């Protein structure tokens, strides 16, 4: 069946609210490559939005899931628990940045992880208010939307958001917001809008995802930690997109000298299977009463099996080091184009969580970024845009990508950028 035929069926059968970036329909995939229903091959620099750090169908992950299927596929951990859930919790407790004894819970999606982190923070502190940042993305549930600092397309038409959620500007020097200005705005927020003694948590992404792949400056993170400590506020690190070797360390917060109180995870945790987690200081995680956390599918056995295998692969294949190597190559290649492509205003990102930002006439250009994405797709390279202005291309290739395929992708990327300049 042709892609166009399936696309016609999709439009007739599905809500337009589920946006679809391409009109190619997947047939099979392997590591960093996808083949569609028409037999066309694509190099995947999207990874299902940062889900496939270990690639499509990693043999070790697939083997673990097949073995789990042969035992059982669902019991609901709250009804009949299982040992590998406990084992995964123990492993995350030992590797997630934090002080002292740690505990974990498992849910299904990143938005669920964020929702539960807020529930836990409120239960632990007895406070209600939460502070997030402009440009942030924390999910499509109502609390996730409230925390998200980007209106289009996430909040449009959905009415009022949950109360007691406040936003401060995220420091992005490229767009005129310094660390000092961001901290000053947060402190003013505490004077003008919300008593800091009512704030349960401050939540942020160590590297903003949908917001544009802007890394939180180290000074900013240190000062934020100090503010939290001063007022008894919990610091939540949303590592849903940054986690599991993407930034060159297992977690992005390892790049900072401060530690969060709670960490949320999802996406690449289970190598393509739905699984999310919340890990935090034991005394905080134990605040909710029994039954206050969980969900029917939370910690699904297949996702748990996949996640344990993912952690093995990251360690055995040295994916943190690999991420740093690939990211350096990508940024070097993009830098070599700057003399010929004045539209490039920034190249950034730790490890292999990289982005290139485009301006035209001194202003952010979503049109140019989309031209690059479209040209890349026509050449068999899948790219994603992001950013509040839509002018950023983000790169989320599997960290397991083969060297030859990566070199091929760099060539396609260069061709696409040059073609976008021609119009």
Which residue in 323, 192, 204, 208 sits closest to 260, CA to CA? 204
Q: Which of 316, 335, 366 is the last residue of a domain?
A: 316
User: 298: which 2 tokens?
Assistant: 């939370």
Give the residue among 111, 356, 131, 373 at the shortest CA–CA distance from 236: 131
Residues 198, 161: Cα–Cα separation, whole Å = 19
**Residue holding tokens 């031209």?**
371
Residue of 139, 142, 133, 129 lying closest to 179 (CA atoms):
133
Residues 375 and 409 in one domain: yes
Q: How does the average pLDDT of the chain come out, rounded?
A: 97
Is 90 exceeded by the pLDDT of residue 278? yes
| Whether residue 147 is found in the same domain as residue 252 | yes
The whole-number pLDDT of residue 383 equals 98
> Residue 250: is its pLDDT beyond 90?
yes
Q: What is the CATH number of the domain that holds 371?
A: 3.90.1150.10
In the block, tokens 């029994």 appear at 290
The answer to whether residue 98 scores a pLDDT higher than 90 is: no
- Looking at the fold, whether 153 and 235 belong to one and the same domain comes out as yes
Provide the whole-model pTM: 0.97
Report, as an integer, the average pLDDT of 206-216: 97
Sequence-distant (6+) residues with CB within 8 A of 321 are 248
User: Which are the contacts of 179, defined by CB distance < 8 A and separation ≥ 6?
Assistant: 171, 217, 219, 220, 223
- Cα distances (angstroms) measured from residue 256 to each of 220, 223, 242, 249, 253: 10, 11, 13, 11, 5
* Structure confidence by residue, pLDDT tens digits, 8-34: 999 999 999 999 999 999 999 999 999
Residue with tokens 């760099």: 410
Output the 3-class SS for 124-160: HHCCCEEEEECCCCCCCCHHHHHHCCCCCCCCCCCCC
Burial 89-98 (b: 16+ CB within 10 A, else e): beebbebbbb
Q: Cα–Cα distance between 303 and 74 in angstroms, integer?
A: 11
- The secondary structure element, H or E, covering residue 94 is helix 83-95
Rounded CA gap, 327 and 351, in Å? 5
Residues 49 and 93 in one domain: no
Final residue of a structural domain among 278, 295, 316: 316
224 and 154 belong to one structural domain: yes
165, 276: one domain:
yes
Residues 202 and 90 in one domain: yes
Asked whether 51 and 74 are in contact (CB, 8 A), the reply is no
Other Cβ atoms less than 10 A from the Cβ of 17: the count is 8
Claim to verify: residue 166 and residue 301 sit in the same structural domain: yes
Mean pLDDT of 137-165: 95
Task: State how many domains the chain has.
Answer: 2
User: What CATH number is attached to the domain comprising 273?
Assistant: 3.40.640.10
Are residues 319 and 245 in contact, defined by beta-carbon separation less than 8 angstroms? yes
Helix pair angle (319-335, 403-422), 10° resolution: 30
Tell me the C-alpha distance between 419 and 423, whole Å: 7
Does residue 251 carry a pLDDT above 90? yes
Q: What is the pLDDT of residues 291-344, one digit of tens each?
A: 999 999 999 999 999 999 999 999 999 999 999 999 999 999 999 999 999 999
Same domain for 95 and 41: no
Please give the pLDDT value at position 377.
98
pLDDT the model gives residue 1: 83
Structural domain of 70? 62-316
The whole-angstrom distance between residue 227's C-alpha and the CA centroid of its chain comes to 25
- Domain check: are 81 and 189 in the same one? yes
Q: Give yes or no: residues 173 and 258 share one domain.
A: yes
Per-residue pLDDT at 99: 83
d(CA 394, CA 405): 18
Read off the pLDDT of residues 110-125 as tens digits, 9 standing for 90 and up: 999 999 999 999 999 9
Convert the pLDDT of each residue in 336-392 to its tens digit.
999 999 999 999 999 999 999 999 999 999 999 999 999 999 999 999 999 999 999
| Nearest CA among 235, 237, 312 for reference residue 269 | 312
**Boundary of a domain, candidates 300, 316, 332:** 316
* Displacement of CA 15 from its chain's centroid (Å): 25
pLDDT > 90 in the chain, percent? 98
Q: How far is CA 366 from CA 20, 105, 121, 299, 389, in A?
A: 17, 39, 37, 38, 6
Task: Output the pLDDT for position 423.
Answer: 78
Same domain, 289 and 348: no
| Reported confidence tier of residue 49, pLDDT bands at 50, 70, 90 | very high
């Amino acid at each position: 069946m042709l892609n166009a035929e399936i696309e016609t069926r999709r439009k007739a059968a599905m809500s337009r609210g589920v946006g679809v970036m391409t009109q190619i329909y997947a047939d099979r995939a392997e590591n960093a490559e996808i083949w569609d229903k028409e037999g066309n091959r694509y190099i995947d620099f999207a990874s299902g939005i940062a889900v496939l750090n270990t690639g499509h169908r990693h043999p070790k992950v697939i083997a673990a899931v097949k073995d789990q299927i042969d035992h059982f596929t669902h019991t609901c951990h709250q009804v009949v628990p299982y040992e590998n859930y406990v084992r995964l919790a123990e492993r995350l407790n030992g590797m997630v940045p934090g002080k002292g004894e740690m505990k974990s819970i498992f849910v299904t999606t990143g938005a669920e992880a964020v929702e539960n982190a807020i529930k836990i923070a409120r239960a632990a502190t007895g406070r209600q208010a939460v502070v997030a940042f402009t440009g942030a993305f924390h999910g499509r549930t109502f609390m996730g939307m409230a925390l998200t600092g980007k209106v289009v397309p996430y909040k449009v038409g959905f009415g009022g958001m949950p109360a007691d959620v406040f936003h401060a500007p995220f420091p992005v020097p490229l767009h005129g917001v310094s660390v000092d200005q961001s901290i000053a705005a947060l402190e003013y927020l505490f004077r003008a809008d919300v008593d800091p003694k009512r704030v349960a948590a401050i939540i942020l992404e160590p590297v903003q995802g949908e917001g544009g792949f802007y890394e939180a400056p180290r000074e900013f993170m240190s000062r934020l930690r100090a503010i939290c400590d001063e007022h008894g506020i919990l610091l939540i690190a949303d590592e849903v997109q940054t986690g599991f070797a993407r930034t060159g360390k297992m977690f992005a917060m390892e790049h900072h000298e401060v530690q969060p109180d709670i960490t949320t995870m999802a996406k690449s945790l289970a190598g393509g299977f739905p699984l999310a987690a919340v890990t935090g200081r034991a005394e905080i995680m134990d605040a909710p009463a029994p039954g206050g956390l969980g969900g029917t599918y939370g910690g699904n056995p297949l996702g748990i099996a996949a996640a344990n295998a993912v952690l093995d692969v990251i360690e055995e294949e040295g994916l943190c080091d690999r991420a740093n190597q690939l990211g350096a190559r990508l940024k070097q290649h993009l830098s070599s184009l700057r003399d010929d492509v004045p539209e490039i205003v920034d190249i950034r990102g730790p490890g292999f969580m990289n982005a290139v930002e485009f301006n035209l006439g001194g202003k952010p250009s979503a049109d140019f970024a989309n031209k690059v994405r479209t040209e890349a797709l026509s050449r068999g390279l899948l790219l994603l845009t992001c950013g509040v202005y839509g002018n950023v291309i983000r790169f989320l290739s599997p960290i397991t990508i083969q060297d030859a395929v990566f070199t091929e992708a760099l060539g396609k990327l260069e061709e696409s950028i040059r073609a976008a300049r021609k119009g």
